[in-house]
């Protein structure tokens, strides 16, 4: 998994590529938690995300909960395979997916 | 009287018939018979040797019918094709045992195309080969091999079936049609660029054999034979090693799938574009570890003491042989993981060395310097392997790793590798990955806590790719993950628990999820059907 971040004012875009699984999710979690201070609009760019498991979903849920208190969060570029997992778990209705 | 001679011994009458027997001489032949078969010889079995008989008319046949009234047990041997035809047309073949004369075939100057445990295969002309048996009295072996070859063919294994039995020198041979055949040994020796193709075909055939379920009792069980080898070794190994060897073989689970028993590259033939298995007399049922053992011996084991053995036997050198063997193991075991491959090879080597040491000792190996040296070499290796091996069992459809999250990629690589070889669509591969990851992570985190242990993940596909079954097995604390309550996925983000989604996701992406606690193990079975929708 690769993570790249771009911040403009209080808008943060995080691009996640590769696999978001049990072994990589803690890295994303750590990376987000240090970057979210003062962020009001978070965009997670999943264009190159190939795979997500429940460990990844946990990070998404925790991040969504945090952003609910300080601004907004959206997912962009979600591929079919990842979308299917989001739908099966009801995440598609609690996250903003564009 | 030239047409008949007779003798009486060992409570059996033997009559030698020759020339033509017809209405012209039948009466005198019958008189002769009556003189040979005296009062005391009546009721004795009669063997009629028809080797020199060229023709027999109905007048001659009536003599045999009348003889049958006093001597009911008549056996005719060496009937020429012409005489056999007469006997067959007149129904005699149904009344008594009649054996055809064996055609005589010479193999002088013929090319040796194969070499089996109990015979040598020669090409006698463009379309035919003959397998000449080492044992001079091989008729029973020939019969056995014909029967198992027929069984294999019926069960779907492409093999050549013998159509004639012939005399070759002092021994017997089985004749097969084998058009334009070339053994895999010859291909490897002369066309090294075809190595990968050979590996693929060779492994496909091996998998096919090992997938073939054999009706109970139709073939011998190799484990019984292997137990015999292990018992033999008790006198030749330090006691505790002998005991360990025996208990390792005893612990190999019963397996009713076919194994060839002598699966090396001389026994696989390419004819046209068809690949045929030959030399079927070692066919058995049992766990594949016994097959890999004899393969290891053929490709490496036998050449460990004298590196030239392989060249003499297969026609290619030890380097080629090692490369081939390693590629075959990789493909057969569906993995490139060196650790997994070597650990399964070690299991096979234990059985392999046992077999070679026993063979060498039985061939008076202990009485020659070379023999003692090879026995010592193999024995040292065997003892070293026994020290670090606890089971001969493996499952080529599975991978076993220590249950820790950092091994996840090994599991995922294995599962994905297996699934990519099927017609499984990409999104289904992902779904299965998600499910396997969830279970594997659970087992890694909780099953053995605070200690550690192993987890095995197996991927099983049907021949028609209609379904995929995944089995995840651990021997940690009994725990049925399916009893976990499903999360409410309709709640808004604020009210949803972080976590608890894993098992729910598994149930969502798979079509069937079953848990059982069996023989001290948690066994979770996940199924996905592919042909629906």
Residue B393 lies in a domain: no
Mean pLDDT, all residues of chain B: 91
Residue B392 lies in a domain: no
Matching residue, tokens 């569906």: B334
How many structural domains compose chain B?
4
How many structural domains compose chain A?
1
Residue B281 lies in a domain: yes
Binned at pLDDT 50, 70 and 90, residue B1 comes out as: low
Residue B106 lies in a domain: no
CATH of the domain at A85: 3.30.750.24
- The pLDDT score that the predictor gives to residue B248 is 96
Looking at the complex, does the CB of residue A57 fall below 8 Å from at least one CB of chain B? yes
Domain ranges, residue A60: 2-94
Lookup: tokens for A9: 């004012």
CATH of the domain at B498: 3.30.565.10
Looking at the complex, does the CB of residue A4 fall below 8 Å from at least one CB of chain B? no
Task: Choose the final residue of a domain: B45, B75, B101.
Answer: B101
Is B438 in contact with A54 (Cβ distance < 8 A)?
yes
Mutate to test the interface with A, among B411, B413, B416, B501 (most CBs of A within 10 A): B501
Is B405 in contact with A84 (Cβ distance < 8 A)?
no
Name which of B438, B432, B407, B408 is nearest B418 in CA terms: B432
Buried b (16+ CB within 10 A) or exposed e, B31-53: ebbeebbeeebeebebbbbbeeb
Binned at pLDDT 50, 70 and 90, residue B365 comes out as: very high
Is A23 in contact with B408 (Cβ distance < 8 A)?
yes
Determine if the peptide bond prior to A75 is cis (ω within 30°).
no
Mutate to test the interface with B, among A49, A67, A81 (most CBs of B within 10 A): A81
Over 50: is that where the pLDDT of B533 sits?
A: no
Task: Choose the final residue of a domain: B44, B76, B101.
Answer: B101
Contacts of B54 (CB under 8 A, 6+ apart): B18, B19, B20, B80, B82, B83
B267 and B369 in a single domain? The answer is yes
d(CA B210, CA B299): 19
B503, B482 contact by CB (below 8 A): yes
Domain ranges, residue B502: 398-529
Q: Determine phi and psi for B264, rounding to 5 degrees.
A: -115, 175
B263 and B225 in a single domain? The answer is yes
According to DSSP, residue B407 is labeled: G
B237 and B322 in a single domain? The answer is yes
Contacts of B321 (CB under 8 A, 6+ apart): B299, B300, B303, B310, B314
Over 50: is that where the pLDDT of B447 sits?
A: yes
Contacts of B533 (CB under 8 A, 6+ apart): none
Over 60: is that where the pLDDT of B263 sits?
A: yes
Residue B116 lies in a domain: yes
Is A58 in contact with B405 (Cβ distance < 8 A)?
no
B360 and B257 in a single domain? The answer is yes
Residue A54 has its nearest CB partner, among B431, B489, B505, at B505
d(CA B492, CA B123): 79
Residue B493 has its nearest CB partner, among A61, A84, A85, at A61
Q: Determine phi and psi for A70, rounding to 5 degrees.
A: -130, 0
B139 and B194 in a single domain? The answer is no
CATH of the domain at B68: 3.30.750.24
Task: Pick out chain A residues at pLDDT < 70.
Answer: none
d(CA B488, CA B494): 12
B416 and B451 in a single domain? The answer is yes
B213 and B325 in a single domain? The answer is yes
Is B441 in contact with A57 (Cβ distance < 8 A)?
no
* ipTM of the complex as predicted: 0.89
The 3-class SS string of B281-332 reads CCCEECCHHHHHHHHHHHHCHHHCCCCCHHHHHHCCCHHHHHHHHHHHHHHH
- The pLDDT score that the predictor gives to residue B274 is 92
Tens digit of each residue's pLDDT (9 = 90 or more) over B76-89: 999 998 999 999 99
Q: What is the mean pLDDT of residues B513-531?
A: 91
Share of chain B above pLDDT 70, in %: 99
B221 and B348 in a single domain? The answer is yes
d(CA B108, CA B135): 18
Looking at the complex, does the CB of residue A58 fall below 8 Å from at least one CB of chain B? yes
Binned at pLDDT 50, 70 and 90, residue B532 comes out as: low
B249, B353 contact by CB (below 8 A): no
Looking at the complex, does the CB of residue A6 fall below 8 Å from at least one CB of chain B? no
Is A68 in contact with B490 (Cβ distance < 8 A)?
no
pTM here?
0.73
Q: What is the mean pLDDT of residues B421-442?
A: 90
Lowest-confidence segment of A10-14, B2-6, B270-274, B305-309 by average pLDDT: B2-6
Lookup: tokens for A87: 């739908």
A70–chain B nearest CA distance, Å: 13
Matching residue, tokens 């997500």: A52
Task: Choose the final residue of a domain: B179, B201, B227.
Answer: B179
Residues of chain A contacting residue B493, judged by C-beta atoms under 8 Å apart: 61, 64-65, 68, 94-95
């Amino acid at each position: 998994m690769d993570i790249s971040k771009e911040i403009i004012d209080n808008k943060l875009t995080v691009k996640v590529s590769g696999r978001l699984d049990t072994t990589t999710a803690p890295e994303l979690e750590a990376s987000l938690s240090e970057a979210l201070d003062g962020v009001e609009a978070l965009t997670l760019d999943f264009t190159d995300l190939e795979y997500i498991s429940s460990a990844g979903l946990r990070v998404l849920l925790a991040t969504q909960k945090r952003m609910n208190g300080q601004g907004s969060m959206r997912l962009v570029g979600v591929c079919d395979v990842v979308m299917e997992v989001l739908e099966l778990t009801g995440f598609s209705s609690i996250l903003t997916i564009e | 009287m030239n047409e008949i001679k007779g003798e009486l011994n060992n409570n059996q009458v033997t009559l030698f018939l020759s020339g033509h027997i017809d209405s012209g001489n039948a009466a005198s032949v019958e008189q002769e018979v009556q003189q040979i078969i005296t009062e005391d010889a009546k009721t004795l079995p009669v063997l009629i040797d028809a080797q020199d008989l060229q023709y027999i008319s109905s007048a001659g046949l009536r003599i045999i019918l009348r003889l049958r009234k006093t001597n009911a047990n008549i056996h005719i041997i060496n009937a020429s094709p012409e005489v056999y035809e007469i006997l067959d047309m007149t129904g005699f073949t149904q009344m008594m045992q009649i054996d055809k004369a064996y055609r005589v075939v010479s193999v002088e100057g013929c090319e040796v195309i194969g070499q089996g445990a109990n015979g040598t295969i020669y090409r006698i002309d463009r379309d035919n080969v003959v397998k000449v048996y080492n044992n001079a009295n091989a008729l029973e072996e020939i019969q056995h091999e014909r029967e198992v070859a027929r069984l294999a063919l019926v069960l779907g294994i492409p093999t050549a079936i013998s159509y004639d039995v012939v005399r070759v020198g002092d021994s017997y041979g089985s004749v097969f049609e084998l058009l334009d055949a070339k053994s895999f040994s010859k291909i490897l020796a002369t066309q090294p660029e075809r190595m990968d193709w050979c590996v693929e075909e060779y492994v496909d055939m091996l998998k096919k054999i090992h997938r073939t379920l054999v009706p109970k009792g139709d073939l011998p069980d190799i484990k019984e034979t292997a137990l015999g080898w292990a018992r033999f070794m008790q006198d030749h190994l330090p006691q505790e090693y002998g005991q360990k060897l025996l208990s390792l073989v005893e612990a190999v689970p019963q397996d009713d799938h076919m194994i060839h028993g002598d699966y090396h590259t001389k026994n696989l033939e390419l004819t046209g574009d068809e690949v045929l298995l030959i030399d079927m007399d070692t066919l058995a049922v049992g766990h594949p570890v016994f097959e890999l053992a004899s393969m290891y011996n053929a490709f490496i084991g036998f050449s460990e003491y004298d590196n030239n053995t392989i060249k003499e036997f297969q026609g290619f050198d030890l380097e080629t042989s090692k490369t081939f063997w390693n590629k075959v193991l990789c493909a057969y075991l569906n993995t490139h993981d060196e650790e997994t491959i070597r650990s399964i090879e070690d299991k096979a080597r234990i059985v392999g060395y046992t077999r070679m040491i026993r063979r060498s000792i039985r061939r008076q190996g202990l009485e020659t310097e070379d023999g003692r040296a090879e026995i010592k070499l193999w024995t040292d290796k065997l003892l070293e392997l026994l020290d670090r091996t606890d089971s001969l069992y493996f499952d080529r459809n599975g991978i076993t790793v220590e249950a820790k999250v950092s091994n996840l990629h090994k599991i995922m690589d294995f599962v994905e590798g297996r699934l990519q070889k099927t017609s499984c669509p990409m999104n289904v591969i992902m779904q299965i990955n998600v499910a396997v990851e969830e279970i594997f992570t659970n087992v890694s985190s909780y099953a053995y806590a605070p200690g550690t242990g192993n987890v095995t993940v197996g991927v099983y596909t049907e021949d028609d790719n209609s379904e995929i079954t995944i089995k995840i097995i651990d021997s940690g604390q009994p725990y049925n993950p399916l009893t976990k309550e499903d999360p409410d996925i309709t709640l808004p983000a604020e009210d949803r628990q972080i976590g608890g989604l894993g098992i729910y996701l598994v149930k969502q992406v798979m079509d069937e999820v079953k848990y059982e606690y069996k023989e001290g193990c948690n066994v979770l079975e996940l199924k996905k059907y592919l042909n629906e929708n």
